[in-house]
Amino acid sequence: NEAKKDSCFEKRKTQMASSSYFLVIALLALASWQTMASDPSPLQDFCVAENSSHVLVNGFVCKDPKDVKAEDFFLAAKLDMPRDTNTNKVGSNVTLINVMRLPGLNTLGISLARIDYAPLGENPPHAHPRATEILTVLEGTLYAGFVTSNPDNKFLSKVLNKGDVFVFPEGLIHFQFNPNPYKPAVAIAALSSQNPGAITIANAVFGSKPAISDDVLAKAFQVEKNTVDWLQAQFWADNHN
């Protein structure tokens, strides 16, 4: 009987060890997937982008460290200066500092933007396919929000005053609107990618080149085709500079 008990005990220990092993493997796989979902972590101090290289990689080829200078990490961006918000119909101007403008950002997984809003101007509904965004209001007031993914499509919004901070999760449609009809607003945003990308929803849907079939869009939005044709005929300006 004692031998039988010992055998059962050993068998149970083996099963528990096996279960623990597979649990650890699953957790490591999950952690690995989460890591791969964002910009890859650098494997050296820096990898300044070599923009003149013709080699195609996911990101940019590294400049030889011996040729790296302080200027590779510097940009006289004049982010303290107001931007012109009258260049487009939406009344906003996004000045993005990403790896294309600041080579030292390559592989560091971060970028920055100044956003100027005219009175009643907005940064229209858009998404960043590769970045989470954290925004803080420097001047004025903003009404900001985002919509969660299907099937809930829950809308979360907040009125932000000077000094307030709001986060827009990666890939979700979001916007900012200046509700003041008399005063402009200014915000600074940090994004968790060297090249976050931006998909402005109206521009992508109604301003694509070539145009999406009006049959497709009329069915999707449940409107008449002449309404889609009118929307596609508008000038869908980009507010990013």
Predicted confidence at residue 13, as pLDDT, reads: 53
- Confidence grade of residue 90 (pLDDT, cut at 50, 70, 90): very high
Predicted confidence at residue 33, as pLDDT, reads: 44
- Confidence grade of residue 34 (pLDDT, cut at 50, 70, 90): very low
Alpha-carbon gap, residue 226 to 213, rounded angstroms: 12
Is 58 annotated to bind a ligand? Reply is no
Specify the pairing of strand 142-147 against strand 155-160.
antiparallel
Predicted confidence at residue 8, as pLDDT, reads: 54
- Tell me: pLDDT of 54 over 90: no
Average pLDDT over residues 205-213: 95
Is 133 annotated to bind a ligand? Reply is yes
Is 128 annotated to bind a ligand? Reply is yes
More confident residue, 35 or 121: 121
Is 54 annotated to bind a ligand? Reply is no
Predicted confidence at residue 143, as pLDDT, reads: 98
Find the helix packing angle between 225-232 and 214-221, rounded to 10°. 110
Is 174 annotated to bind a ligand? Reply is yes
Alpha-carbon gap, residue 109 to 112, rounded angstroms: 11
Alpha-carbon gap, residue 63 to 80, rounded angstroms: 30
Q: What is the 3-state secondary structure (H, E, C) of the chain?
A: CHHHHHHHHHHHHHHHHHHHHHHHHHHHHHHHHHHHCCCCCCCCCCCCECCCCCCCCCCCCECCHHHCCHHHHCCCCCCCCCCCCCCCCCCEEEEEECCCCCHHHCCCCCEEEEEEECCCCEEEEEECCCCCEEEEEEECCEEEEEECCCCCCCEEEEEECCCCEEEECCCCEEEEECCCCCCCEEEEEEECCCCCCCEEHHHHHHCCCCCCCHHHHHHHHCCCHHHHHHHHCCCCCCCEC
The tens digit of pLDDT for each residue in 112-124 reads: 999 999 999 999 9
Domains plus CATH for the chain? 37-197 (2.60.120.10), 205-240 (no CATH)
The chain-wide mean pLDDT, for the chain, equals: 87
The tens digit of pLDDT for each residue in 1-11 reads: 555 444 554 55
Predicted confidence at residue 102, as pLDDT, reads: 96
Is the peptide bond between 151 and the residue preceding it cis, with omega within 30 degrees of 0?
Answer: yes
Predicted confidence at residue 180, as pLDDT, reads: 98
Instruction: Look up residue 90 and give its two tokens.
Output: 């939406």
Predicted confidence at residue 12, as pLDDT, reads: 59
* pLDDT > 70 fraction of the chain, expressed in percent and rounded: 84
